[in-house]
Structure 1
Amino acid sequence: MTESGNPSQPANVNEYAGAHIQVLEGREGVRRRPGMYIGSTGERGLHHMVYEVVSYAVDEHLAGHADAIDVTITAEGGIRVADNGRGLPVEAEEPTGKSAVERELTELSFGSKPHTGYGISGGLSGLGLCVVNALSSRLTVEVHRDGHRWTQEYERGVPVTPLTRNEETSEHGTTIAFLPDADIFETSRYSFTTLSERFQELAFLNGGLAVSLTDERPERPVRYHHADGLRAFVARLNPYPASLLHSPAIAFESENESRTILVQVAMQWNTWSPGELHSFANSTRTREGGTHEEGFRTALTDLVNDCARRQGQLSADGEDITAGAVHEGLTAVVSVKLAHPVFEGPTKTRLGNPEANAYVQEVVREHLTDWLDHNQKEAASIIRHILIASPSR
């Protein structure tokens, strides 16, 4: 993969099929224990339902088959998510005779996402659509695929109509509309602001993907599309140009030889903030950090100390600058995309892959060393700022 490319080769449409689905558990388990799958039955879990559906559309983008996602908060308070990807598989599967769409929406499974359909994916590892369906009082799926429009309706995870082939079409993609079950959730009101912020993050994290959000309560459309990716993300987080120690933000990315992990970083020091680090794994915010954050902090602290000594701002035998001081005034975004992510907890608040630590360190050391060597004036300003901000100095 080139540095500007997708983290996985476009998957052949025939490789994304119902045969990739393996049954784990039924809908009743989800309805009895919703917190195990979406974190809570409050506002956080309500919004997580949306993110699970959107994650499928993002996976289509990562596989090279979709460049637009349109999300609507409907007038009745439900959600509609439409993408222009390949469309969920519709073929019948033996021995049950169920369509692949129905199996994806009714059976807890590790679907095609971890296998040949998707190399890198977000969401609940193939569980997402089934979970959303089980926790919705009503769900409708519309698929444009194989030359036709296909539709099916569900109530509380149970199909109430068969998958129906409708008129011919040359379009492709999937639209899922659902209404969260009021018997499950403590609140049913979606926050436009919460969803809008998340979708802007997705646009930053997935360059070339356009994500729109429309609110029919009344209508308030927004659309996000950021070709400059994480550098634009940092620019949004650093809104005061006069306070910047360097511009533009430092940004780099790299993928390992086996194409199982992609690292993207953007970072910029300023004089106004205590510093903030936003980390993501497969486009999901890892609020409790994890191995990718640990690798970033370790490499960054070592490089800043090395640079300070080379420039003579820190003596050879002087006390090391601490990680906390290095992050003073630093706004950074670290995003990793892995073929086999290991998360702690069902809502992915912390990443556990040890290889993420090692590879993030490798990438940061290579690219940030190069930047510091070629921007010595800015590097000196950064070191001075860190030393002044350090409590021990």
Structure 2
Amino acid sequence: MPTDKITTNNKQNGNYGEDSIEVLEGLEPVRVRPGMYIGSTDIRGLHHTVKEIIDNSVDEAIAGYANLIIVTIQKDNSVIVSDNGRGIPVGIKKAYGVSALELVMTKLHAGGKFGGSGYKVSGGLHGVGASVVNALSEECLVEVRQNGKLYHQEYKKGVKQYDLKTDEIKNSKIDSKYISSIDSGTTTYYKPDHTVFETLEFDYKTIRHQIRIFAYLTSGLKFTFIDERNDTKESFYFEGGLRSLISSQNRNRDVVHPTIFYAHKEAENIDVEIAFQYTDAYVANEMSFANNIRTQEGGTHLTGLRSALTKSLNDYGKKHNLLKNEERFSGEDTREGLNVGVSV
């Protein structure tokens, strides 16, 4: 009985043995395959680096330790992100013999977002973000202000240039106008590596939109956005959270009801915030977030909201005799003209 054989004429020359196996140490994997960590090396990946550093500062705000974040894009497209939180820990991690700051900046999967002791809620790449940005930067400097002292460390392409240093706060290498607080917090400066990214030109509107959404999702947190390339400075602060977001989006729309329905509570250790308002539009505008990250494909939180809304409107209609016989609203009916935001 004949057997089929898989043949190819495109075999590569060379032997495949133990010498073919490579081990990439430290942050080498990031520089070899950056797209695996930030999605791409085009402008989307470039913008992602900013988001990752901002995420860390927002985590401090969500935990209740920060209320101001300053984001600066300098004329050479270098970035500075500063918060007035607790500051990345600088003590020596005994198991590794280096400071916690150095671990966060130079080791993948190092951070305070895993066990729950550091952060109950957090966004970003969970222990990967800061080190990835560092690895993909031509140069990077992190300054931490704690207990009246300044701690700092510099890196080039992810490699530290010296051990963590302690100095007087007045000796900061970063101008005070870019710093959220001289007393406490973390300030990160980095310049994206031109050998990694296809472009180094940040899009002002994209970064501005990212920051604005962060401000909506974290009520009580103030952002200052400075873009020295076009000499602009803006502040974003929304006490109303998602309610402010819906109000802003419906400003030039005809709304069906003046009051925005809003709820914010914790259930089973999950913080849930919902805001919605109907307009005369024919389609729905649904925005869902998890840990301050936009969930473009929805998720169980959005599915749950849809089901609850449809059920509630049907129950109300039946109770008040607004629906005849077996009439019921479908999901499409209840979402027509709906502008909603849900965050967990």
Shorter-chain TM range is 0.7 to 0.9
Report if the CA contact (8 A) 1:151-1:163 is conserved. Answer: yes
| 1:108 partner SS | coil
Question: Aligned partners of 1:262, 1:227: CA distance in 2, in Å?
Answer: 17
Count of aligned pairs between the two proteins: 309
Match runs of 1:1-393 below 5 Å: 26-114=26-114, 115-168=116-169, 171-240=183-252, 243-257=254-268, 259=269, 261-272=270-281, 274-318=283-327, 320-336=328-344
Give the aligned partner of residue 5 of structure 2: none
Report if the CA contact (8 A) 1:75-1:217 is conserved. Answer: yes
1:151 shift after superposition: 1.5
Letter in 1 for 2:259: P
Report if the CA contact (8 A) 2:145-2:169 is conserved. Answer: no
1:135 shift after superposition: 1.0
Question: Aligned partners of 2:198, 2:343: CA distance in 1, in Å?
Answer: 32
Question: Aligned partners of 1:229, 1:308: CA distance in 2, in Å?
Answer: 30
Question: Aligned partners of 2:298, 2:78: CA distance in 1, in Å?
Answer: 32
- Cα distance per residue 1:158-179 (max 9 Å; x no partner): 0112221111577001100111
Letter in 1 for 2:69: I
Q: Which has the larger share of helix?
A: 1
Give the aligned partner of residue 362 of structure 1: none
1:110 shift after superposition: 4.4
| 1:295 partner SS | helix
Question: Aligned partners of 1:273, 1:233: CA distance in 2, in Å?
Answer: 20
Question: Aligned partners of 2:216, 2:204: CA distance in 1, in Å?
Answer: 18
| 2:98 partner SS | coil
Letter in 2 for 1:106: T
Report if the CA contact (8 A) 2:87-2:184 is conserved. Answer: yes
Question: Aligned partners of 2:29, 2:76: CA distance in 1, in Å?
Answer: 27
Give the aligned partner of residue 372 of structure 1: none
Give the aligned partner of residue 3 of structure 2: none
Structure 2 residue ranges without an equivalent (≥5): 1-23, 171-181
Letter in 2 for 1:226: F
Report if the CA contact (8 A) 2:283-2:337 is conserved. Answer: yes
> What stretches of structure 1 move > 3 A for 4+ residues in a row?
none
Give the aligned partner of residue 12 of structure 1: none
Letter in 2 for 1:176: T
Letter in 1 for 2:213: E
1:25 shift after superposition: 6.9
1:198 shift after superposition: 1.3
Letter in 2 for 1:330: L
Question: Aligned partners of 2:293, 2:199: CA distance in 1, in Å?
Answer: 23
Report if the CA contact (8 A) 2:87-2:144 is conserved. Answer: yes
Report if the CA contact (8 A) 2:104-2:110 is conserved. Answer: no
Question: Aligned partners of 1:183, 1:125: CA distance in 2, in Å?
Answer: 26
Letter in 2 for 1:219: D
Report if the CA contact (8 A) 1:122-1:283 is conserved. Answer: yes
Residues 270 and 46 (structure 1), Cα distance of their counterparts in 2 relative to 1, 3 Å cut: same
Report if the CA contact (8 A) 1:25-1:109 is conserved. Answer: no
Report if the CA contact (8 A) 1:266-1:334 is conserved. Answer: yes
Question: Aligned partners of 1:225, 1:96: CA distance in 2, in Å?
Answer: 40
| 1:37 partner SS | helix
Report if the CA contact (8 A) 1:25-1:107 is conserved. Answer: no
1:40 shift after superposition: 1.4
1:129 shift after superposition: 0.5
Report if the CA contact (8 A) 1:25-1:108 is conserved. Answer: no
1:192 shift after superposition: 1.2
| 1:109 partner SS | coil
Question: Aligned partners of 1:295, 1:182: CA distance in 2, in Å?
Answer: 44
Letter in 1 for 2:291: N
CA RMSD of aligned residues (A): 1.7
| 1:239 partner SS | coil
Structure 1 residue ranges without an equivalent (≥5): 1-23, 337-393
